[in-house]
Amino acid sequence: MKRTEIDKLLKQEAIGAQVKVNGWVRTFRNDRFIALNDGSTIKNLQVVVSPDSLSEDLLKAITTGSAIEVIGEVVASQGSGQKVELQARSVEVLGKAHPDEFPLQPKRHSLEFLREKAHLRMRTSTFSAVFRIRHAASYAIHKFFHDEGFFMMHSPIITGSDAEGAGEMFRVTHLDLNDLPMGEDGKVDDSQDFFGKVTNLTVSGQLEAELGALALGKVYTFGPTFRAENSNTSRHLAEFWMIEPEVAFADLNDDMDLAEKMLRTVIGFVKDHCADDLAFLDEREKEEDKNKPLAERHEIGLLERLDSVISTSYERITYTEAIDILRNSNPFKKKKFKYPVEWGTDLQSEHERYLVEKHFKKPVILTDYPAKIKAFYMRLNDDGKTVAAMDILFPGIGELVGGSQREERYEVLMERCKDFDIPEEHVWWYLETRKFGTCKHAGFGLGFERLVMFITGMSNVRDVIPFPRTPLNASF
């Protein structure tokens, strides 16, 4: 007999059917009721066993966490909460989980505790919900771009260029660090390294995506990116996944339109396809909020938050306008902001949150940042001091998307490389596209984990990626 997945079994409600199910025991009550979960759905299947039919040893082995196989008949459920249940004919324990050692007990564990048990935490309702949603969001992104006529492009993970110029890269080498080849200048001879030069893990696939867009028209990348930022925040990972679309013959407005449409479509898709998981997380958040001081509780529930970003259009303002709003704000006047608000400095998370959560109460797209605080590839505006950049700020998240129209003018780009001390030999291929059939083009980067945070309501980025990589943490 082939196994039936619990999701299917609960949806089909095929009373009278003989089925085989597999899964992990969540709870076993009164030697009679097993709550069984196989990961296909947040819902558990109630399995009813008659204690007399099972040996004493078998009854003892059916413990929380053990893997079992049950053959039985689908019957209408007597209890509330489910329409059907499984009347067991036979139960086999496939893999025991010793109750004294298995760390996940049928009670609420803290997220911090579960982070230490990342090898098992996907067996909890919360994390299985998060990772099913993560899957749906990933699928929805591919579907969105495919439907819009984009081509997926695999950009390289090992690279010799620093796209963002932030110098936060992880070196890739095959040299023996305890026996490095030295050059005559007393420095490591990089020419003896695997690629004959210094290489790193990529911080962005954008530069390569631009090459793709200038041939295929519309491309996107969806891959892992790496940043050796030593920032231990709830929104930063050393390894995260980024989606980077790039469009030829498009300007900054087209770029913002695309980003808004993508976010609306993807979040809408997840809402439609993960209703059970979202309902669970919504309920969980409401429970958690009860234990929090009023000021820290969510003003509106998870599902409403998703609806609000699907249905409203996002506020578009320039960086300069944002500075004005902030300098006229109450927290600024009352000196409540920790960081200064001055034209030319980057906005801090407290400023972004004020704009999004207090002032506009909806997602905000900030445009036209000072050239000095943004990357070399962004198109210089006519004022000579700002660039055609855009950041999308989301409630509770801050920066979700960063994008720009690209500098397509060869001479201007050469100047920008000089300003940023970017050696021509690192980016000669990028510069050449500005000599051969250059055209306006634009793109953006969406931090996938930050999107999953928003959709699931999880407040720490470490809880939306299966095995987070952060400073001093690369277990599992």
- Helix H, strand E, coil C: the string for 2-31 is CECCHHHHHHHCCCCCEEEEEEEEEEEECC
CA 369 to chain centre: 25
CB of 113 or CB of 249, closer to ligand 4AD: 249
CB of 118 or CB of 213, closer to ligand 4AD: 213
Angstrom CA distances, 152 to 140, 217, 248, 253, 376, stand at: 13, 12, 15, 22, 25
CB of 235 to Mg ion, least distance (A): 11
List residues bridging with 91 in a β-sheet: 70
Size of the site for ligand 4AD (CB under 6 A): 24
The yes or no reply on residue 240 touching ligand 4AD (CB under 6 A) is yes
- Amino acid (one-letter) located at 67: A
CB count within 10 Å of CB 86 equals 26
As given in the structure block, the two tokens for residue 216 are 């295929």
CA distance 308 to 454: 12
CB of 72 or CB of 445, closer to ligand 4AD: 445
The interface region with ligand 4AD, picked from 142-150, 154-162, 320-328, 445-453 by CB under 6 A, is 445-453
Choice from 212, 395, 398, 402 touching Mg ion (CB under 5 A):
402
Q: Which does 468 bind (CB under 5 to 8 A by kind): ligand 4AD, Mg ion, none?
A: none
CB of 210 to Mg ion, least distance (A): 17
As given in the structure block, the two tokens for residue 44 are 């558990």
3-class SS at 184? Answer: coil
The interface region with Mg ion, picked from 321-329, 394-402, 427-435, 465-473 by CB under 5 A, is 394-402
CB of 127 or CB of 369, closer to Mg ion: 369
CB of 158 to ligand 4AD, least distance (A): 17
CB contact set of 232 (below 8 Å; sequence gap of 6+): 470, 471
CA distance 252 to 261: 14
CB of 219 to ligand 4AD, least distance (A): 11
The yes or no reply on residue 445 touching ligand 4AD (CB under 6 A) is yes
The interface region with ligand 4AD, picked from 100-108, 193-201, 265-273, 397-405 by CB under 6 A, is 397-405
CA distance 89 to 2: 16
CA distance 211 to 92: 56
The yes or no reply on residue 236 touching ligand 4AD (CB under 6 A) is yes
CB of 461 to ligand 4AD, least distance (A): 6
The yes or no reply on residue 245 touching Mg ion (CB under 5 A) is no
CB count within 10 Å of CB 345 equals 14
> How many residues would you count in the chain?
476
CB of 91 to Mg ion, least distance (A): 53
Q: Which of 130, 432, 107 is nearest to 280 (CA)?
A: 130
Choice from 204, 329, 386, 470 touching ligand 4AD (CB under 6 A):
204
CB of 36 or CB of 242, closer to Mg ion: 242
CB contact set of 391 (below 8 Å; sequence gap of 6+): 365, 366, 369, 399, 401, 402, 403
The yes or no reply on residue 457 touching Mg ion (CB under 5 A) is no
CA distance 193 to 411: 33
CB 326 within 8 Å of CB 355: yes
CB of 323 to ligand 4AD, least distance (A): 19
The yes or no reply on residue 220 touching ligand 4AD (CB under 6 A) is no
Choice from 401, 413, 452, 453 touching ligand 4AD (CB under 6 A):
401
List residues bridging with 370 in a β-sheet: 386
CA distance 476 to 474: 7
The interface region with Mg ion, picked from 149-157, 268-276, 395-403, 436-444 by CB under 5 A, is 395-403
List residues bridging with 34 in a β-sheet: 28, 47
Choice from 229, 289, 307, 357 touching ligand 4AD (CB under 6 A):
229
Strand order, beta sheet including 199-201: 158-159, 199-201, 171-172
The interface region with ligand 4AD, picked from 37-45, 153-161, 430-438, 439-447 by CB under 6 A, is 439-447
The yes or no reply on residue 206 touching ligand 4AD (CB under 6 A) is yes
3-class SS at 152? Answer: strand
The yes or no reply on residue 416 touching ligand 4AD (CB under 6 A) is no
The yes or no reply on residue 395 touching ligand 4AD (CB under 6 A) is no
The yes or no reply on residue 403 touching Mg ion (CB under 5 A) is no
- Amino acid (one-letter) located at 41: T
CB of 74 or CB of 252, closer to ligand 4AD: 252
CB of 63 or CB of 225, closer to ligand 4AD: 225
Which residues of this chain interact with Mg ion, rule CB under 5 A?
402
Which residues of this chain interact with ligand 4AD, rule CB under 6 A?
163-164, 204, 206, 227, 229, 236-237, 240, 242, 244, 399-404, 443-445, 447, 449-450, 461
